[in-house]
Structure 1
Amino acid sequence: MYQRPELPELVFTDPDGNAIPYGHRWGVDGPPERTYSRTRHPERFAPLIEVADALIDHLERTYDVDVRYTEGLPEDAPDTVRSAEQGQVRIARAATLLPRHDGCAPLVIAETTFPSIVVAMGAAGEARSPACGCDACDESLEDSAELLERIVLSVVEGRFQERYSWTEGIEITIGGGTAATYSREPRHAADKERVDALKQSQRERHGERWLPWPPRRDDAEGAWEAEAEPLRLWTRQEREAAIEAALERIRRRLRSA
């Protein structure tokens, strides 16, 4: 079972020496204009790296998945990870997790020098923790850790789904129930590489949903079996073919009698 590492109680102060209550800084009037696109203490997010490492270790021990670690940006990194490198921010290291069943969504979990964690999911899904990181958004370390865990565990539990259509563009759902989040990116605004990757993925999966990751098998020979297809009514042609096959078996028995 996954267990979050203990988060340190970090205290940061403003120019007057007062402790900054991250997550509860702004009232009904909202943040000041000067706080947008500015992050005074990005180091408060550094413990997210330990949370990401704990998640990766949990997935590697629990699920039937291959894990590849790289320093810096992986050569085959998806565009959703490459786009995290902007200005002085770079990918410091990454873990690529490939389930051993084609029906399961792959994951890339990467650490940036911000510091932050970037997650690429499936063919076109992307998320970051913290989601923004600027002072105006006022994200706390604990909320960012919860966000990262929800995203990663939603993928492995089959609660991350993505879909592309000509009319709706890219649609992505993360989580389930009342905690689910839904986003839509119109076709004309979506990145072409992401669209192409998702269309290719849908063709390979024949439009099927992403499945939950299979549990790890201790025996090397053991292979995970996909869930049985749901029962459905036969078509008229299938019924006639089954009847004809049964009649042919009866004829062969009578001829050999």
Structure 2
Amino acid sequence: MIKSKFFWIGAILLATTPLLLIDVTKHALSWKTEVHDEMIYAVQNTYNFTVQQKADILDRILESNKTLMAAMCIKSFISIIFFVLSLYFFRLFAKTEKTNFMKPLITCIALVVCFVLVKVLLLPKLYQDEKVKFVELQHDEDNLNNLYHTNFNGKVVYVDFWGTTCGPCLEEFRNFTKPLKDKYKLKNDIAYLYVSQGNRYLWKQQIERYNIEGTHLFLNNNQYDKLYKQSIRNNKAVVFMPRYLIIDKHGKIVETRAPQPSNVDSISTILNKYLAAN
């Protein structure tokens, strides 16, 4: 056991540096989707946004740009300071302690690995929100029947097929999902199911980042394709994201091409129709 305080200060600073760099990378990816890509979608008017919708989106883009750029700069600067300070304390350790080089090196590597594993694997599992529920399909299931009757019986369900790096999917989450849900927050007979594919680690990060309340299902590519095609009743369909469905109160898929949340008038009309039905 290495007892030098200089070594442990240096080792902790060094182990913290990659955690900051991971955050910088995440901020850079967020900047690409939340600023760069969304600016393109807004300018191209992909979904025929109204003037007010486009103005609101641009306001959020500018705010995201300012926040993300500040976070990247600050954390990059801190990571450099931590790395330089770690070298300084390692130098003090080397001057005051005569020890084998391999032991401190192995200890540092182990500490760095532990810190990274805790951040990447453990901390996401600690994310809990009573309004967010994670479910799974049984191994041989390729439809939503059992999932509906187990979790949503008697409710209208708005189903969202999305991907963890799908730009249009994330755009809906950022700008339109919450306003739509706010219209129905007093309704007890509506629920939201989000079916995703992509990167499992990034999946929960996106759910947390965009505060996507509802029931969440993550599938590998093959499972996703099968469920998608079975749900829209077209085995030859090309998977397109985002894709929205509506399940009525009897568990039947009644809309296989429902409007997206940004088309608030159309989706509200359809949801109201099925919510009013017995």
- Superposition TM-score, scaled by structure 1 size: 0.25
Of Structure 1 and Structure 2, which has the larger fraction of its residues in strand?
Answer: 1
Greater relative CO, 1 or 2 (CA 8 Å, sep 6+): 2
State the TM-score, normalized to the length of structure 2: 0.23
